[in-house]
Chains A and B, each alone.
Chain A
């Protein structure tokens, strides 16, 4: 699947630019610096002034992560239904399909990363906030099962507001489904690498995202359970400035490392090399 050229196209996702002529310059939403689009995109959408990591859609992420032309998407045909006949869900799905760069809130497939074969899943925040409904849960579970079958490490890039409200309890169950799949991956001795990107919250964070053998995060990403506003704080408790960020989660022992976007290839290479060298042979774990 060809994924090159996304950076040159008109942005379809929540652009960091506001009030600036499209296509020439963008304003960093973090430091307000005006940046040339060319420089901004060449820098993988990381602000050249303040280093703020702006969101990437799934295809942009794919392009800077996997080896060229190595990605083969699986389960692209899975489509969300509207099992609850939830108000406005069909309209929202329709709109998401037209405006997002992906056909659902996650794309999954096989690829090579720095030469190592992997199963990779990349959440797309531009599709209904990356929310996890039946399709997202199913795609992730199936991707993990492909990892078990092929004995490839599984890499998940997360970006999601949480479970998809519009599918009710079915969405909640995707938390259990994906986590159980990670459990199977583990008993088969296959590594699971999670890269948390902005934002990863709610039911998505409280399931497979927290279960990586190694958990990396991009700098400054919002990562947490219930959003800053949703959570009920005790009277008199002052939230730290870095509440629910990568830095906060690192400080509290929930993630392994914060890795700047440009350093992710090297980090993934190091991990994949380690896991390739240490791979548990099938015969050893037979009987699981």
Chain B
């Protein structure tokens, strides 16, 4: 019953509750009294649960995926950083004005090799959420990310970024300190970094705030993560003047990893444990680590110019349009 709190998870929650009650001390003693082996008895139920879960999680709508991506138990950047890398040494501050905790970053090792990591970080409890501005970085966060990315470039080590934000902060302070400029500069500067950059969208890829740390040579997405130009709620408000129509808006925006992959905007979708990354963080981290290592190996042979040119070609290829005179 871990994290089954959405409508679409109801049949799963019911089955899980049934199995748990049968397997409880009380259930076991009842069964024992009637000479039934409970583990054999629940087997069909467990099979049914597995079947239902595969069906539900294999067919999530765009809005359901959005809910999964925002799940309160979903692993955040620091969870993956701790499980995938060794000796993470966190760095702080943009060297200009502040330390924006919506973005974390630092030095680490991946299978013994020095690397640099940057991640967008939401908070677990209310206090941490406030401290991290719910994962919505202001200008200071994007400048901190760039400053840390430059360290990676200076010492010629690969950079890994993890995307998980509803969007950049859009409050007075963000505007005063130039959040637009900070995002724009990262888009430009990340496109020129002379080191391998591997990006993973682990949860919410919210608009420009996500993109501000998401220009790289490879972009991976977890199976139930989303990536969108605007939130479904924002889109619904514009289209139908009704935030409650987020479900329809999510469909229209086609914001799933699967669709982004179809459009060639992301390179690979990493399968999540059945029921979502939060149900088995260790397994998810293993899958992610394997993919990061594999993509890094593919990129490691490339010279700096090849990398930068390849990254540019990659961005230049993004877009769908017609090139003809139409009447």
Contact = CB atoms under 8 A, between A and B. Distances in A.
A225 B184 contact: no
Given A135-B321, A177-B315, A182-B188, A254 B181 contact: yes
A219 B2 CA distance: 56
Contact of B315 (A176, A186, A231): A176
B215 interface: yes
Contacts of B171: 231-234, 237
A63 B168 CA distance: 37
Contacts of B323: 77-79
A137 B326 contact: no
B165 interface: no
Interface string A144-187: 00000000000000000001110111111111110111111011
B78 interface: no
B188 A172 contact: no
Contacts of A134: 318-321
B260 A169 contact: yes
A232 B170 contact: yes
Nearest to A254: B178
A275 interface: no
A179 to B, nearest CB: 4
Interface residues on A, range: 35 or more
B149 interface: no
Contact of A243 (B172, B235, B259): B172
B110 interface: no
A197 B235 CA distance: 25
Interface in B57-108: none
A208 interface: yes
Contact of B318 (A173, A231, A243): A173
Interface stretch (A21-29, A81-89, A114-122): A81-89
A165 to B, nearest CB: 5
B119 interface: no
Nearest to A201: B180
A285 interface: no
B223 to A, nearest CB: 17
Given A86-B252, A170-B318, A230-B170, A180 B175 contact: no
A173 B315 contact: yes
A203 B230 CA distance: 10
B178 A253 contact: yes
B276 interface: no
Nearest to A86: B252
Contacts of B168: 206, 225
B208 interface: yes
A73 interface: no
Contacts of A165: 229-230, 235, 238-239, 253
Given A210-B184, A225-B170, A177 B192 contact: no
9 contacts: A163-B208, A165-B230, A168-B229, A175-B211, A179-B188, A180-B187, A183-B188, A183-B192, A225-B175
